[in-house]
Copies of this chain bind each other. A is one copy, B any other.
Amino acid sequence: MAWASDPILAAAVSNAGGMGMLASGSMSAKDLSLEIEKTRTLTERVFGVNVMMLSPYLDEIVDLLVQDKVHLVTLGAGNPGKVIDKLKSAGILVAPVIASVAMARRAESVGADMVIAEGMEAGGHIGRITTMALIPQVADVIQIPVVAAGGIADARGMAAAFCLGAEGVQMGTRFVCSVECQVHNNYKERLLRASELDAIIAGVGSGHPIRCLRNSLTRKIDAMEKRGAEFEEIERIAVGGLRRAVKEGDVDNGSVMAGQICGLLREIVPVETIIRSMMEELTHIFLDHSGESIS
């Protein structure tokens, strides 16, 4: 959610009863500091920050978070061991994003407070295991709470995640199609038109697969891989591509990261509507099924 999850979206999610997340991406600490400050002007509730372990500014970002005492930090794309002690000693909740049982065990062993277990149906950087297969296998072997991510866009997905053993859910693609999300309108419109098969995986050959909508850029990456281009070369075109799609609205040559649930998106609504309707429908789903199962 780099470029997409900014103060306005994060504050809207927290104000609606969720845990808003700022994506720090490859921001400098100074820029992130301004984002955190801005978020605090928009909500009095707690929110979190996602940190990319591959960020060139990792050390200064961690120092900033420790000083700023944000409520929760999720750690993506890398080994969380390097920064977890520092964050935890400042009283920050730490939730590494994991994509396998082994990663979940490691996260618990280095002191994580919870894990974000992300299935490969998610948008952006992904692993290989699906949410349906990942959550119960992770829940069986760690004691800390599991938050499910990937494939969740409505109350049905949230209810399913809870049945599988998760205690919370993380949604990305769904919130991109909110009123408050500041991505270019072309990005949102492209998502609304997408079918589930459009959310392909680019960059498999590089070992760093990214789920995004099929377009000129993904065809270009495909061709680069076929001629054996290096990961760095592909990553450059992909990362620059995300900014191009999000900020400039170039959904042909940009990277339109999206999960497989994109086919469920029908309209652009306020964050509060998304969250409230999910919570209302969740109650009905469980009540309906509990009636069935005892009858």
Q: Roughly how many angstroms separate A196 CA and B137 CA in the complex, as a whole number?
A: 8
Is B101 within 8 A of A121, CB to CB?
no
A156 interface contact, C-beta 8 A: yes
A76 interface contact, C-beta 8 A: no
Q: Roughly how many angstroms separate A163 CA and B152 CA in the complex, as a whole number?
A: 12
SS of A interface (majority): helix
Is B197 within 8 A of A263, CB to CB?
no
Q: Roughly how many angstroms separate A84 CA and B129 CA in the complex, as a whole number?
A: 34
**Total identical chains:** 2
Is A264 within 8 A of B152, CB to CB?
no
Q: How many residues of A contact B (CB 8 A)?
A: 50
Is A287 within 8 A of B294, CB to CB?
yes
Within 8 A of B (CB), among A150-202: 150-154, 156-157, 159-165, 195-197, 200
Within 8 A of B (CB), among A63-120: 100-102, 119-120
Q: Which of A4-12, A23-31, A278-286 contacts B (4 or more CB under 8 A)?
A: A278-286
Is A136 within 8 A of B290, CB to CB?
no
A110-140 toward B: CB 8 Å interface, digit per residue (1/0)?
Answer: 0000000001110000001111111111001
Residue pairs across A and B with Cβ atoms less than 8 A apart, 5 shown, are: A129-B196, A137-B261, A140-B264, A160-B161, A283-B294
